[in-house]
Chain A
Amino acid sequence: MKKKIGFGDIEQSVYNAVLKAGVILPEDVKAALQKAYMDEASSGSARESRSTSVISKILENLDAAEKMRIPMCQDTGMVIIFADIGTEASVNLSDIDNAVNTGIAAAFSDGYFRKSVVSDPLFGRENTGNNLPAVIYHQLVPGNLLTLQLMLKGFGSENCSGLVMLNPTAGIQGVISAVTGIVAEAGGKPCPPIIAGVGIGGTADRAMQLSKRALLRDVLDRHPDSRYAELEEQILLQLNGLHIGPGGLGGVTTAMAVKVEAESTHIAGLPVGVSISCWADRKQKIVLGEE
């Protein structure tokens, strides 16, 4: 028995998820912010009062958003959706994007989210008025579920993305330097403390996509491959050594986490894509088709 996934199921769940994402920060990110506050307060740094000020304002802001039911940040972003479609899922494929887009538009209207998408990037830059289209990545997976992972991606941080096509022999140090360079260049622009998503391998475009998918992981989780878990820790140490700090005003927490996703690549290359999330790592996961 498979459960039929209808247009309305997708639309309603995306609507709920987008509304929630914009207003309420996931628990893992909140916990990471609280840890960052403690780290700053006990750092003994001369800049401690400013870095704790920044994080306490962020926590105050989260309370205000929940209380007033308005977005925590006025940049409610472009919506990015990773649609993992089970090959056995009982869903009309032509429904998926339409239902996703309908749900997003309704949530942006009802939630008093800012409509930030323009129809043409260069000519006219006319606002579409409903924050559509979303960026949707489809992937076929085994099983009968439809999993939609979404994030609201603000552009203060998105503008700090980067891609470095390293030589294949650049090794671990090359990867660490590439990521650190991109985060150093970003400085206080992407609203630190950030979460760095790193995609390694594939092609240039694939590495960037992996870096986005990496941002969907639980901030507090550990990479299942111990080599990559260690790499994540090494990069995090380097990033926090930059002392960009909360809000870019200095401090020991430039990044709350580094998440790496790796994939096969070509003998001649070592692509490294970096996507930065601001502290407002607004993500939600929807699983449809469960019994």
Chain B
Amino acid sequence: MERSVRSLSLPMSRKIAADLCAGDEILLSGTMLVGRDQVHEQFHKIIKAGKVLPVPLEGETIFYMGPAPAPEGAVIGSCGPTTSSRMDPFTPELLDAGLVGMIGKGPRSSAVQEAVIRNGAVYFYAFGGCGALYAQKVTSIVCLAFQEFGPEALYRITIKDFPVIAAMDSRGVSIL
């Protein structure tokens, strides 16, 4: 069977996210946020306190990842996805706040799926354990907040031809 792989630019509009279909193989290029457990807990506290997040989430995609240190001369170290389900309790409120895409590995809760449908968002599967492969797809990285958490800080990265598979779409279809 011939596989078609399409390209997609980040950040993306809600309309583009909502049109993606679970099972689509996609190469992402552009910029996205990076954050995992600590970023999610901090975001939750900020939203709960009615304060302003360090970065507006509208149109953003977040990659659940904590990088290994960059070797000399490299942009980033090994940087594959972490298990998404740990972010589940915090995810619906981020989607409701404008986040349109998430990238990680493994299944999501039904509450996340409902929030994906409600917001016309998308969850991408990134190839688990493939940190060296993904390091080749990152062209720049900058820390946006929570530097004290080291690899668990909030980053923005620029990527080129970053391979993912749409895993949960806005129509409620999931390949997980």
Task: Give chain A's interface residues, CB within 8 Å of chain B.
Answer: 47-50, 53-54, 57-58, 60-62, 64-65, 68-76, 112-116, 127, 154, 156, 159, 187-189, 191, 247-250, 278-280
Contact = CB atoms under 8 A, between A and B. Distances in A.
A189 B132 contact: no
A175 B3 CA distance: 41
Contacts of B66: 74, 114
Given A74-B78, A191-B128, A249-B176, 18 more contacts: A47-B175, A53-B3, A65-B132, A70-B74, A71-B78, A72-B131, A73-B80, A74-B131, A76-B68, A112-B78, A114-B78, A188-B107, A189-B85, A189-B107, A191-B105, A249-B125, A278-B128, A280-B129
A249 B127 contact: no
Contacts of B82: 75, 156
A64 B136 contact: yes
B145 interface: no
A186 to B, nearest CB: 9
A70 B25 CA distance: 26
B135 A64 contact: yes
Interface string B121-146: 00001011111110110000000000
Nearest to B152: A127
B92 interface: no
Interface of B: 1, 3, 23, 25, 65-71, 74, 77-80, 82-83, 85, 105-107, 125, 127-133, 135-136, 150-151, 163, 165, 167, 175-176
Q: Which of B79, B129, B136: most chain A CB closer than 10 A?
A: B129
A73 B150 contact: no
A105 to B, nearest CB: 14
A117 B77 CA distance: 18
Given A112-B68, A114-B77, A189 B136 contact: no
Identify which of B74, B83, B128, B175 gathers the most chain A CB atoms within 10 Å of its CB.
Answer: B128
Nearest to B133: A61
B63 to A, nearest CB: 12
A57 B131 CA distance: 11
B40 to A, nearest CB: 14
A113 B131 CA distance: 11
24 contacts: A48-B1, A50-B165, A61-B80, A61-B130, A61-B133, A64-B132, A64-B135, A65-B131, A68-B74, A70-B131, A70-B135, A71-B77, A71-B78, A71-B131, A72-B130, A72-B132, A73-B129, A112-B70, A114-B67, A156-B82, A187-B106, A247-B105, A249-B167, A279-B129
A47 B167 CA distance: 13
A61 B127 CA distance: 9
Contact of A187 (B151, B165, B167, B176): B176
Contacts of A68: 71, 74, 132, 135-136
Contacts of A49: 1, 3
A159 B83 contact: yes
B71 A70 contact: yes
Contacts of B85: 189
Given A114-B66, A188-B176, A249-B167, A70 B127 contact: no
Contacts of A114: 66-69, 77-78, 151
A81 to B, nearest CB: 21
Contacts of B77: 70-71, 74, 112, 114
A70 B130 contact: no
